[in-house]
Amino acid sequence: MPDTPVPPTPPVPLVALLAREDLGLRQIAGPEDPGIVIHWAHTSEMADPYPYLLGGELLLTAGVHVPEAAGSGTYFDDYVSRIVAAGGAALGFGLAPVHDTVPRALAAACDAHGLPLLEVPPQTTFSGVARAVWQLMAQARLAELRRVTEAQQSLASAASRPDPVPSVLRRLAQRLGGRAVLYGPDGAQIATAGREAPQEVREALAGLAAVVRPTGAQTSSAGPSAGPSSATDTVLGTHLAVYALGTGQGFVLGVATDRREPGDHTIASVAAVLLSLLTGEHQSGAGTARSSALVRLLLGAPPEDVAPLLGAQRWVVVHARPEGQVPDAVAASALGAALGSALVDLADGVVRVLVPADREPAAQPGWALGVSTPVAPDDWAAADTQAARALARARATRTALVRHGGRPGLADLVPPGEAESHARALLGPVSAHPALTETLRAWLSLHGSWDRTAVALSVHRNTVRQRIARCAALLGADLDDPDVRMELWFALRNL
């Protein structure tokens, strides 16, 4: 089984939930590891809960699904193994009204599969347990946001000091409780801060920095080749992380810590952006030209007028939304820092980031991202639409990052004018209703899935059904016919 992704929520230590006296929970089987965490609580009386779990859950059950002869067969072993395979973190078994005690065979199965088993007393409701989990998550989220915000302010203050690079590294090492290193284009340490690390850890961190350092950063007139912007590893129990600075000149930030806390990646990414500004590109002629071009665009200059200042620079537009919450200014700024760009816009619950195409956007924990194809400034509007549709698909399919497909296809075989005329004629009955058109587009792109389309459009699944039925009626077409779907999709691509 591949590793099961857990929901992007703050982890809650299981011991913290057990410590709630108002719940009266008691662990009676499975490992008692203080490092076990849960990401949410879910109630299910299904005999096979696997299809309904995302991973990281405290699964709550009253045993309604348990047959009378379950203790003498493999029922409990099969049941627990499926929970573990789905990535469930723990199982809570409620006493009364179905069972007076926790079945011993269930406890034995949890011990065998390493799944913590909690006894939920009769006076404790499952909704009360779920509420306690969300309260602990809210506390963890608040603490994480406070920590990240304080770190951002602290790092920004350090960047304004007379010795900004060493100051930023010292503050970063203090905030993460580890070691911070700035490597130059040749791999040499330019500056370090924080406590010393073993030789093997130092060598591993330097080797990891070479993985993200752009090749040809110093020698190639065509610019450095693209590569990963960050990487992580663990050596001797020490967590390592490296970040290629957005200068394109080969500078890399390395961090080594004994433990990896929520928010560490965001804090280190903020430091990387500050160090990028301090080490160079915006001080150079190319950086000055880019800044000038962007200012002129913001002041209303046509893209074609500023294109000479940007040279051959191409861009991607990124649309992003965090899972399960509305982004705020702090979260938007942190995302921009992680993607290596200060060009961030927050509106209508969506964060938009304009990123130079040579900084390949990577998936970010807790976010769903849609990425456009690389474009020149005069195609930014089209790229914005591409990114919005890619984000909708990412959210519907629960994928961390979706890129707009830019490879040639069937549409390239038909002259654009003829394709557009055909599309307008075919889709005429629904094109006057933007909601119907967008619903049809999303529904077709998601292979006719009602639920995924509802997620992508943030509407109820019944609304999707009604709109698709209306489209079928207006078009006079059988939308279950694959040939009809193909023709409609082709038309929508050219509308």
If asked whether residues 397 and 421 sit together in one domain, one would say no
Helices assigned H by DSSP within 197-315: 199-212, 264-279, 285-298, 303-310
User: How many domains does the chain contain in total?
Assistant: 4
Judgement on whether residues 165 and 200 belong to the same structural domain of the protein:
yes
Query: Is residue 144 a part of any domain in this protein?
Result: no
Q: Do 395 and 456 form a contact (C-beta atoms < 8 A)? A: yes
Residues 122 and 19 in one domain: yes
Which of 287, 208, 285, 216 has its CA nearest to residue 246? 287
Tell whether 277 and 389 lie within a shared domain: no
Q: Alpha-carbon distance 170 to 148, whole Å?
A: 16
Tell me if 319 sits within 8 A of 345, measured CB to CB.
no
Model confidence, pTM = 0.46
- Residue 472 counted as domain residue: yes
18-26: long-range contacts, CB 8 A cutoff, minimum separation 24:
18/118, 20/132, 22/128, 22/132, 23/120, 23/124, 23/128, 23/129, 23/132, 24/121, 24/123, 24/124, 25/92, 25/118, 25/119, 25/120, 25/121, 25/124, 25/129, 26/118, 26/119, 26/121
- Max Cα-Cα span within the chain: 79
Q: How far is residue 451's CA from residue 66's CA, in Å, rounded to a whole number? A: 30
Do both 333 and 393 map to the same domain?
A: yes
**Parent domain of 389:** 314-403
Domain contains 445:
yes
Per-residue pLDDT at 10:
77
Beta carbons within 8 Å of 493's beta carbon, 6+ residues apart: 411, 423
DSSP 38-68: ESEEEE---S--GGG--SSEEEEE-STT--T
Write out the H or E segment, with its range, that includes residue 423: helix 416-431
Task: Let me know whether 366 and 424 are in one domain.
Answer: no
Per-residue pLDDT of the chain (495 residues; tens, 9 = 90+): 344 455 566 789 999 999 999 999 999 999 999 989 999 899 999 999 999 998 999 999 999 999 988 877 899 999 999 999 999 999 999 998 899 999 999 999 999 999 999 999 999 999 999 999 999 988 888 888 888 888 888 888 887 665 678 889 999 999 999 999 999 888 888 889 998 889 999 999 999 999 988 765 443 333 444 456 888 899 888 999 999 887 567 889 999 998 888 788 889 988 888 888 777 644 444 455 555 555 555 556 666 666 665 555 688 899 999 877 777 775 676 677 778 777 788 888 888 888 888 778 888 878 899 999 888 877 777 888 889 888 988 888 888 899 987 554 555 455 667 767 877 888 888 988 889 999 998 898 888 899 989 888 888 999 999 999 999 999 898 988 888 888 888 888 777
CA distances from 320 to 142, 351, 368 (A): 21, 5, 6
Same domain, 261 and 173: yes
User: 230 and 183: one domain?
Assistant: yes
Last residue of a domain, one of 283, 306, 338: 283
Within-domain flag for 267: yes
Q: Among residues 136, 151, 175, which one ends one of the domains?
A: 136
* Kind of pairing between the strands at 189-194 and 57-61: unpaired
> Residue type at 263?
G
The label of the residue with tokens 């779907």 reads 485
Structure tokens belonging to residue 457: 């459009």
- Tokens 């649309």 found at: 319
Q: Which amino acid is at 120?
A: V
The CATH number assigned to the domain holding 248 equals 3.30.450.30
List 45's β-bridge partners, or say none.
Answer: none
Determine, yes or no, domain membership for 345. yes
Residue 146 lies in a domain: no
What's the pLDDT score for residue 357?
82
* Backbone phi and psi for residue 279, each to the nearest 5 degrees, phi listed first: -95, -10
Is residue 391 within 8 A of residue 350, CB to CB? The reply is yes
Whether the bond into 97 is cis, omega within 30 of 0: yes
CATH code, domain carrying 451: 1.10.10.2840
Last residue of a domain, one of 369, 403, 437: 403
Residues 277, 390 share a domain: no
The answer to the question of residue 95 being in a domain is yes
CATH number at residue 47: 3.40.1390.20
Residue 76 and residue 37 share a domain: yes
- Amino acid identity, position 34: P
Same domain, 276 and 330: no
Cα–Cα dist 242/226, whole Å: 16
Residue type, 86: A
Rounded CA gap, 482 and 461, in Å?
A: 22
Q: Are residues 367 and 272 in the same domain?
A: no
Instruction: Collapse the DSSP code of 233 into the 3-class scheme (helix H, G, I; strand E, B; otherwise coil) and give the result.
Output: strand
Residue 439 belongs to a domain: yes
H/E element, 85? helix 75-85
Inter-residue contact 209 to 198 (CB < 8 Å): no
